[in-house]
């Protein structure tokens, strides 16, 4: 699924977009050139990842605003996605779960890596995950944990692997990336804030930051890196308090948001965060 540059622009704030590049409107005669560029980009991606890009190989979250953040309109099967949560309790796990749910909606299992035995199955069910399709895996140590990720990502019957991975070295990361690329599953890695400074083999890196809000649960999602694409951007999303529906955040009252941010900055100073 291709996304027009205009569409992309509409969701990207000025900070994340490239200055003066793709975002400017193209004249009609340049359409052929644009098509050629898109085709070439697709070709590069094919060469890089082996798997050809087809309609079913992109998984959306079910929230259009979030999907538009990604150049392909979602995350591709056969890729590793790193979800970097800037603070605990920030909502990265829930956001990644939206993709996991979509990935195994029709077929395939969801493997939940739970080394610390903290994942709460009733909450998975509350997010619409069918527990009959979930395999909970609880490795004993880091070595086993990496081995389990590798095994699960290599299995064609597994649609997605979701779990917290606090620590991983570059070589193991590369192995996981090769494993997932060969099989067409989806690896959703929840990483701590410190991981942002570490080298990564993930195909997509997403930063998730919780935001203060007066109503609903608000998060800011940043596309930090996307393989074979220069697209960067960010979008503010919120979950509706009463039904958990994810949608683009609309500041209802400008004063309210400003007040909220000021509140947040003041607190950051007071707690030394």
Partner 1 sequence: MWLPDWPIQRRIVARPELDGQAVVLYGREARRGERVRACSPAAWQRGIRPGMPRADAAVLAPAASAAIHFMAHDPHQDRLALQELALACGRFSPLVGLNPTDPPDGLQLDITGVATLFGGEAALLEQVAIFFRQRGYRARLAIAPTCAAASAVARWGSASTIVPPGDLSQLAALPVAALELEEGVRQQLRHLGIGRIGQLQGLSRGSLGARFGRSLLVRLDRLSGAMGQTVVACRPRPSWQVERVFEHALADRGVLEAVLRELSVRLSQQLQAGGRGIFQLEGRLVCQGGQVRTMQVVFFQPAVEPSHLAALLQMHFERLDFPEGVQRIELAAVVTAARDRRQGRLFADSSPGDAAELAQLIERLSNRLGRERVVRAELAADAQPERAYRCLPLTGVPSGESPAAGQPGRWGSLYRPLKLDSPQGIGVLGVAGEGPPAAFFLAGRRHRIARSFGPERIETGWWRGPSCRRDYYRVETVLGQRFWLFRRLPDQRWFLQGEFT
Member of 166, 217, 227, 232 binding partner 1 (CB under 8 A)? 217
Query: Which residue's structure tokens are 């990842």?
Result: 49
Per CB under 8 A, 225 contacts partner 1? no
Per CB under 8 A, 97 contacts partner 1? yes
Residue 213 · residue 260 · CB < 8 Å: yes
Residue among 48, 140, 129 nearest 93 (CA) = 129
Distances (CA, A) of 56 to 51, 53, 74, 78: 12, 8, 11, 12
Nearest approach, Cβ of residue 110 and partner 1 (Å): 11
Member of 109, 180, 202, 206 binding partner 1 (CB under 8 A)? 109
Nearest approach, Cβ of residue 171 and partner 1 (Å): 20
Nearest approach, Cβ of residue 1 and partner 1 (Å): 25
Question: Is the Cβ of residue 230 or residue 266 nearer to partner 1 in the bound state?
Answer: 266
Member of 25, 28, 32, 132 binding partner 1 (CB under 8 A)? 132
Distances (CA, A) of 7 to 3, 58, 71, 185: 7, 18, 10, 28
Exposed / middle / buried, residue 272 (Cβ in 10 Å: 0-12, 13-18, 19+): exposed
Nearest approach, Cβ of residue 32 and partner 1 (Å): 42
Per CB under 8 A, 29 contacts partner 1? no
Distance of CA 183 to the CA centre of its chain: 19
Per CB under 8 A, 134 contacts partner 1? yes
CA distance 245 to 103: 18
Member of 1, 2, 131, 230 binding partner 1 (CB under 8 A)? 131
Interaction residues for partner 1, span 192-211 (CB under 8 A) = 209-211
Per CB under 8 A, 138 contacts partner 1? yes
Question: Is the Cβ of residue 29 or residue 120 nearer to partner 1 in the bound state?
Answer: 120
Distances (CA, A) of 42 to 9, 47, 53, 118: 20, 9, 8, 40
Which segment (10-18, 27-35, 47-55, 140-148) binds partner 1 by CB under 8 A?
Answer: 140-148
Distances (CA, A) of 141 to 8, 12, 120, 144, 187: 42, 40, 20, 5, 19
Member of 58, 155, 193, 224 binding partner 1 (CB under 8 A)? 155
Angle value at C-alpha 80, between 117 and 108, nearest 5 degrees: 70
Nearest approach, Cβ of residue 101 and partner 1 (Å): 10
Residues that bind partner 1 (CB under 8 A): 85, 87-94, 97, 107-109, 118-128, 130-132, 134-140, 144, 147-148, 151-152, 155-158, 164, 190, 209-213, 217-219, 239, 241-244, 263-264, 267-268, 270-271, 273
């Amino acid at each position: 699924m291709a996304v027009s540059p205009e569409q992309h622009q509409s969701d990207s704030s000025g900070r994340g977009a490239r200055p003066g590049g793709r975002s400017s409107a193209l004249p009609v005669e340049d359409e052929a050139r644009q098509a050629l560029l898109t085709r070439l980009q697709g070709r590069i991606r094919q060469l890089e990842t082996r798997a050809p890009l087809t309609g079913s190989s992109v998984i959306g979250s079910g929230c259009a605003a979030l999907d538009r953040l990604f150049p392909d309109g979602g995350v591709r099967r056969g890729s590793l996605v790193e979800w970097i949560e800037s603070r605990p309790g920030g909502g990265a796990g829930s956001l990644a779960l939206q993709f996991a749910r979509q990935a195994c909606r029709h077929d395939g299992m969801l493997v939940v890596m739970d080394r610390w035995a903290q994942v709460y199955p009733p909450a998975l069910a509350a997010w619409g995950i069918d527990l009959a399709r979930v395999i909970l895996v609880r490795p004993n140590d880091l070595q086993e944990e990496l081995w389990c990720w590798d095994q699960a990502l290599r299995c064609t019957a597994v649609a997605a692997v979701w779990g917290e991975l606090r620590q991983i070295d570059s070589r193991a990361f590369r192995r996981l990336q090769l494993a997932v690329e060969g099989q067409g599953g989806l690896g959703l890695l929840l990483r701590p804030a410190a991981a942002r400074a570490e080298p990564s083999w993930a195909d997509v890196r997403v930063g998730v930051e919780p935001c203060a809000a007066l109503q609903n649960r608000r998060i800011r999602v940043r596309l930090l890196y996307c393989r074979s694409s220069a697209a960067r951007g960010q979008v503010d999303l919120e979950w509706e308090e009463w039904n958990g529906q994810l949608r683009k955040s609309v500041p209802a009252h400008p004063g309210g948001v400003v007040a909220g941010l000021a509140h947040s900055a003041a607190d950051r100073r007071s707690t030394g965060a």
